[in-house]
Structure 1
Amino acid sequence: MDSWLPVGLPVASGRHRSSIWSKLIRYPEVVVALLCLTQILCWTVAPALVDAAPPGDVVEGFMWGREWVLLTYKHPQLPAWLLEASHLLTGSFRWPQYLLSQLVVSATFIFVYLLARDMLGRTRALAAVLLMPSLYFFGWPTPQFNHDYAQMPFWAAISWLLWHATRDAGSKWRWIVLGLVSGVGLYAKFSTGLLLLFGAIWLLSDRRARGRLATPWPWLGLAVFLAVAAPLAVQLCRIDFLPLTYVAGRDDWVMAHRARLYYIGVQLAGLTGFLAVLAISGLLRREPPRQVVAVREAPVEPRAFTYLLWMGLGPAILVMVASLFTGAGEAWGAPMYNLVGVVAIACLGDRLGISEMRRLAICALVCVIGVSGAYATTRWTSCNALGHMQPVCWPAQLVSDEAETVWHEASKGRLGIVGGDTGLAMLAGLNAYDEPSIFTGLDMRFAPWITAKRLQDQGMLLIWQGSQDSQTPPRLMPWIKGLPVKTILLGWSRQAPPVVINFVVIPPGTHDLPNDPPASPEDRDN
């Protein structure tokens, strides 16, 4: 009579068996789909309504995406390609990046569910996913689609595929897919390699998994991975390993400007909501769930539990320890907590009943709707009522309109290049009809799509922020050389005064470029 109940769920009393919720959890995939739809709707609409400009990393991604390069001095460019694709499909810079970010988060939910279903059963897998919205990294920061978030679903998919491939001798094709997903994951961010390292160690240390190496399929998967990753390795050599230099510079900055325990503190703070939901749901109670007449145990296989601890907590703990000795960005841990909910349910699943599942679902709904609403309220209030300038407060369209107006008043050609204050210049080029390129840092190593010939042919619009009485930044003086500066006032807040923006048009045909800018990789190859 109770055969429809998922394995591992306490059998409910008659009163609860007839409830809508007890019927709904017969189909956990439907609940996961509803959670994903809610996440996508709330976290797409909320920031799109209040953010006048995309977050800083998103603007950078859009500007780099239009260049379609494989690798920049920071990271591989899969996130930038996705952003540019979203713009080409929709024609908007206003909302598609938020939708893209939530599609990535929802894909992570799905892959985590698939892994947990294999290990814990369908109902407990649903409980693990319902815990995920309580994690900070799946809420407040998600409007900023960047490399940290682009790699989230790859970490979840790699964990699922590796477990499935080593568990089932018949899963030959999963080794090929694992190699493909692992290779593409590196295009999201090189730190995906950290999870691959943990996966490789587990593959060699687990007796059952190691036995799969006697078959050709893992090696075919490795060949696929190497083939996919090879272009990144070649390009990394061509640009003199600039991403490694960038990481070293970031480490130095973090060590100089952050306390020794800052990274660990941020990670632990991000877990407070998760712990609160565990308590509210009743899973931290020691007594068995109420209103049950029988319990069907679905004990977690020790090997599976070891895998969860190793892949789900290992990278996060390692980076926390490393942060005591080297710099670590607070958002770098974003993909490292995908499996925390699965670990929790693997430990506490015997306390899971109908009431606990209901509370988890309510908490997930409150987290998604409540936090997205708080985000919208806080951002609007900060920009308009308090006058606190943040990247999302900039009137992006107006900045681009002013930039194009200044350029076309002085030059007949299209606006092809923007530079100066890199963040502001990117914002000026974002919505510009001419779709200019960004000259990052006025350094061709950082913007290889800019060449000396292109500067001569197209000229450049220099942009920087500063009061009307302030001096021009010294680093821009060699480029300006007495050219007229146009200053405008741009309103951005209901309370704060307008922001001052300065423009200088460097017309095409300016032959005395400063300091003989270094040749880009394209120039060197030619």
Structure 2
Amino acid sequence: MSRTSESVHPWPAAAAAEGNAPSIWNGLVRHPWRLLALLCLTQIACWTVMPALVNVGPPNDVVEGFMWGREWVLLTYKHPQLPCWLLEISHLLTGSFRWPQYMLSQLLISTTFVLVYLLARDIMGSTRALAAVLLMPSIYFFGWPTPQFNHDYAQMPFWAGISWLLWRSARDGRPGWWLALGVVSGLGLYAKFSTALLLAFGGIWLLYDSRARSRLATPWPWLGLAVFLGIAAPLAVELFRLDFLPLTYAAHRNEWVLVHRARLYYIGVQLAGLSAVPVVLALSGLLRRRASPAQEPLQPNPAPERRAVIYLAWMGLGPALLVMIASLFTGTGESWGATMYNLVGALAIALLGHRLGAAELRRLTVLALLCVVAVSSAYAVTRWTGCNVRGRLQPVCWPAQSISRTAEAIWHEAVPAPLGIVGGEDGVARLAGLEAADQPSIFTALDRRLAPWITDQRLRDQGMLLVWPKGWQLTPQQSTWIDGLPVKTVSFDWSLRAPPLEINFAVIPPGRASFPGDPPGPPDPE
């Protein structure tokens, strides 16, 4: 092959050096979006199938999300309810509580992959963008915790989307990008309020970068801001109506962390979650110095401009570093930073992309797919052995379907009307209502402020099934509720080795129940 043909088609020469790579790989690497699709499909398949095979019950946050989702409220004492709406929609579409939540989580993770690819492609071309995404499965937060679909994972694609749309808006200045940025930013708050942190960092960058700042002289950023404010306004109204309970919950959670966790616990978890990234970079060869820049498998792209690298570092690490520092003084939940590392891979490739060649890209691909398959398999083995061999009671060990069916049967033995409300110890009460055909509401913590859908009139009209595990103490008010009523204790097998669970059920018929006094604050987050 002549020098001219090599410069136009560098991949065949690289393939020869690597031992004539198969034509399938040749086709994939010429079209990075195909490798991206393969990664996304592998992520969705592995992380949907493995948890569905071994988890008898959904994780805690998922059960809570399902129970709150059926209420269709805008806001609870914890968070906005977009993730819970998505869970309810997944159930309405499939009729199952066993696997849709896992697929939903992976669809959002894969959407995040795509959005990060789009941002990185704008900055450094499709090949390096693909490499950036191939680093993401080595980050702990894109694997092991993802079966527990919650607000942290629901907001993940919004963070990636905001980062991409802000870059595009500042680069092109077209009204469509600014309007899209306003919409996605507003909807991101419905996933979790902490999206506001990224918006703050984006606003600071918009003022700092001269090219982006020049766009403020046009009407389109302000139109996007108006759209954002219009979308966010109902949340602000509801937050005021609920007396800012989500902020109270966040403060309560932070206090709990300060008491129960070491001062450096949060930072340690974050660093541990990122620890595999340098290992993958080393194994792929990207940390190895070269005498000359590597030749790209596709047309080579120039190194990203300095302002783009600053943008990736600011948006990709700024919020995470700020929260790490804040955790030293305020306490922070270990998973709350999960969504803040979307751009770590893009930043790494922006700095090391000049070393990316055919061999490095191939190793990155193999390592990414290996991470997905191996970690999801390890998750399945660990969860199954934890429940059945070690006898360690985890949320996914609880026999959710059996508990729901038993709860409903006990209710209908005593009351001819549908089961409308379940309450008691929140963990088992949610499981009791989860798969019940009557679709009862959860009376969260038996506190009217935390479950506004349970009115005094509804409680009198419908009664309630009180559910609690053996060893959990009823309050004096709750004991008064069931005074003179039969309490049925049922054993549930959950492990091949451990003894059965014992759960108590008491039917409080319509007309008997009344509200207890309000407790001093939200229930303990653990």
- Aligned residues of 1:108 and 1:338 also touching (Cα < 8 A): yes
Tell me the TM-score normalised to structure 1 length. 0.94
- Aligned residues of 1:22 and 1:354 also touching (Cα < 8 A): no
Residue equivalent to 1:261 = 264
Could you tell me which runs of 5 or more consecutive residues in structure 2 were left unpaired when the two chains were aligned.
520-526
Residue equivalent to 1:54 = 58
Distance in 2 between the 1:293 and 1:375 partners? Answer: 35
Residue equivalent to 2:514 = 513
Alignment of 1:287-306 (within 5 A): 287-288=290-291, 296=300, 298-306=302-310
Distance in 2 between the 1:268 and 1:483 partners? Answer: 53
Distance in 2 between the 1:5 and 1:60 partners? Answer: 54
Residue equivalent to 1:504 = 506
Change (3 A) 1:208 1:49: same
- Aligned residues of 1:13 and 1:292 also touching (Cα < 8 A): no
Change (3 A) 1:138 1:514: closer
Cα offset, 1:274, TM superposition: 1.3
- Aligned residues of 1:267 and 1:330 also touching (Cα < 8 A): yes
Residue equivalent to 1:522 = none
- Aligned residues of 1:421 and 1:464 also touching (Cα < 8 A): yes
Change (3 A) 1:443 1:300: same
2:243 aligned to 236, 240, 243, which one?
Answer: 240
- Aligned residues of 1:70 and 1:76 also touching (Cα < 8 A): yes
Distance in 2 between the 1:150 and 1:296 partners? Answer: 35
Alignment of 1:54-453 (within 5 A): 54-169=58-173, 171-288=174-291, 296=300, 298-453=302-457
- Aligned residues of 2:120 and 2:132 also touching (Cα < 8 A): yes
Between the two proteins, the alignment pairs up a number of residues equal to: 512
Amino acid at match of 1:212: R
- Aligned residues of 1:184 and 1:228 also touching (Cα < 8 A): yes
Distance in 2 between the 1:362 and 1:5 partners? Answer: 23
Distance in 1 between the 2:366 and 2:360 partners? Answer: 10
Distance in 1 between the 2:388 and 2:296 partners? Answer: 56
- Aligned residues of 2:97 and 2:435 also touching (Cα < 8 A): yes
- Aligned residues of 2:423 and 2:446 also touching (Cα < 8 A): yes
Amino acid at match of 1:224: V
Distance in 2 between the 1:83 and 1:280 partners? Answer: 38
1:30 aligned to 11, 27, 34, which one?
Answer: 34
Distance in 2 between the 1:296 and 1:407 partners? Answer: 68
Distance in 2 between the 1:348 and 1:462 partners? Answer: 59
Cα offset, 1:22, TM superposition: 3.9
- Aligned residues of 2:293 and 2:354 also touching (Cα < 8 A): no
- Aligned residues of 1:289 and 1:353 also touching (Cα < 8 A): no
Cα offset, 1:269, TM superposition: 0.3
Cα offset, 1:5, TM superposition: 5.5
C-alpha distance after superposition, 1:301-324 (max 9, x if no partner): 011011011001100110011111
Change (3 A) 1:479 1:16: same
Q: Look up the SS of the partner of 1:504 in the other structure.
A: strand
Q: Look up the SS of the partner of 1:99 in the other structure.
A: helix
**Identity rate, percent:** 67
Amino acid at match of 1:419: G
C-alpha distance after superposition, 1:470-511 (max 9, x if no partner): 86455632332332211111111100000110011100011x
Amino acid at match of 2:346: V
Q: Look up the SS of the partner of 2:336 in the other structure.
A: helix
Distance in 1 between the 2:448 and 2:42 partners? Answer: 43
Amino acid at match of 1:185: G
- Aligned-residue CA RMSD (Å): 2.0
C-alpha distance after superposition, 1:335-374 (max 9, x if no partner): 1000000000011111111111111001001100000000
Cα offset, 1:293, TM superposition: 10
C-alpha distance after superposition, 1:271-312 (max 9, x if no partner): 111121111111111225899699946111011011011001
Residue equivalent to 2:49 = 45
